[in-house]
Amino acid sequence: MEKKVTWLELFYDLLFVAAVSKAGHVLLHAEHGVISFEYLLKFVLIFIPVWWAWVGQTLFINRYGQDILSHRVFLILQLLSVLVMTASLSTHFDEHYLSFFVGYIGSRAFTAIQYLTIHKSKSKHQQQAARFLGLAFIIGIVISSGSLFFDSWVRYVILYAGIAVDMILPLLGRKNLVKVPVQTHHLLERFALFTLILLGESVVSIIAVLSADHWDMPSILFTAFTSLFVIAMWWQYFDNVEKKVSKEMQTAGQAIIYGHLFIYISMSMIAASIQLLYQNQLNYGFMLAFVFGSVLLYFLSTTLVFHRYRHPHLRLGARHMVIMMGLLAVFVVVDLIYRVPGYVIMGEDMLFFLVYAKLTT
């Protein structure tokens, strides 16, 4: 029987709308025509804990979750932890470190407790996988907790070392996890819902463009091309999820889980690039690298994720890769030779995604 997404899971996702928005806002800090390495790094360091906190609870629900009182209580406790974490998200890490730590570690701790206290009626493999994941998360929590004893940059190294261990151990324990495969249909649905949140950030960027004080032909073209670009992105992703992938595959789900990190990062970059491109806040060379780099990252990460789960006769071949990479390369070369306005660049992105949607759907 297929697991269904519950209303409480959808409510849980609502908090991540604010978290994703705050993380993406970091990319709008353009100074002297570039987004500095400091802000690019801060975006990644903010986004990864947000994504990983959501993944942790989502995977528990996928394998073991039931719509019963005890699981609802744990999910509500998760909600409160995420609320604290989201409120503390800021580029000024030091000022809000303790509240961020309490929110993030609280979220991870509740997930670990759930794994370590699953009902004994579960199968032997289910109990082994739950113990492995629970202990792996506890190890990550203990390492990250060491950051509380430091005040300098060392605290962040220790915090993210714990998060890295937390993320790597499930990969190393894949042998145990494949014995308790994820429910692919439910997992794809959950990640698709989170993808909608990221698409919403691009819609917000379009609204910011529509709120401009003046309207002329370049503005109208920019808005039209951007809207079609986002619609094509939606079409490509959700048509693949709905019609082109096998939801019966028995796997540990790790291609979906870790591949979507890069999909989500690229979508945040795309949402930021819409506003930055319209407001002409970036140097031309950096702008091309940022815009087309985000599109390339999205293309490669979605290709990787969907290739793994596509029905064999629907998988993209080398010819499709050559077409898409060649198209992107042509746009970059032309734009380097001829300085083009922002609406032309957005039109190229639109054309790329229309072709990508056509080839994959």
The contacts of residue 129 (CB under 8 Å, 6+ apart) are 63, 176, 177, 179, 180
244 and 337 assigned to the same domain: yes
Choice between 332 and 318, residue whose per-residue pLDDT is larger: 332
Find the mean pLDDT for residues 158-181. Answer: 92
200 and 348 assigned to the same domain: yes
Per-residue pLDDT band at 360 (split at 50, 70, 90):
confident
pLDDT of amino acid 327: 94
Find the mean pLDDT for residues 2-18. Answer: 86
pLDDT of amino acid 250: 83
pLDDT of amino acid 299: 94
221 and 166 assigned to the same domain: no
Pair 42, 255: CB distance under 8 Å = no
Q: Is the dihedral of CA 87, 200, 185, 307 positive or negative?
A: negative
Looking at every residue in the chain, the average pLDDT score rounds to 90
173 and 193 assigned to the same domain: no
For residue 5, pLDDT beyond 90: no
The contacts of residue 49 (CB under 8 Å, 6+ apart) are 85, 100, 104, 163
Residue 99 lies inside a defined structural domain of this protein: yes
Find the mean pLDDT for residues 86-109. Answer: 90
For residue 1, pLDDT beyond 70: no
Q: Show which of 177, 204, 223 is a domain's final residue.
A: 177
pLDDT tens, position by position, 246-285: 888 888 889 999 999 999 999 999 999 999 999 888 899 9
Least confident of 55-64, 114-123, 147-156, 352-361: 114-123
Find the mean pLDDT for residues 93-111. Answer: 91
Q: Which domain holds residue 135?
A: 7-177
pLDDT of amino acid 339: 93
Q: End-to-end alpha-carbon separation of the chain, Å?
A: 28
Q: Show which of 177, 196, 222 is a domain's final residue.
A: 177
Residue 1 lies inside a defined structural domain of this protein: no
265 and 172 assigned to the same domain: no
159 and 195 assigned to the same domain: no
160 and 206 assigned to the same domain: no
Find the mean pLDDT for residues 333-337. Answer: 94
Local structure of 247: helix, strand or coil: coil
For residue 297, pLDDT beyond 80: yes
342 and 201 assigned to the same domain: yes
**Residue 328, token pair as written in the block:** 């992107």
136 and 217 assigned to the same domain: no
DSSP state of 30: E
224 and 355 assigned to the same domain: yes
200 and 127 assigned to the same domain: no
Residue 2 lies inside a defined structural domain of this protein: no
For residue 213, pLDDT beyond 70: no
Residue 212 lies inside a defined structural domain of this protein: yes
Rounded CA separation 174/129 (Å): 10
Residue 89 lies inside a defined structural domain of this protein: yes
Q: Show which of 177, 209, 232 is a domain's final residue.
A: 177
Q: Which of 12, 16, 10 shows the shortest CA–CA distance to 268?
A: 16
87 and 58 assigned to the same domain: yes
CA of residue 305 relative to chain centroid, distance: 13
Structural domain count, the chain: 2
For residue 152, pLDDT beyond 90: no
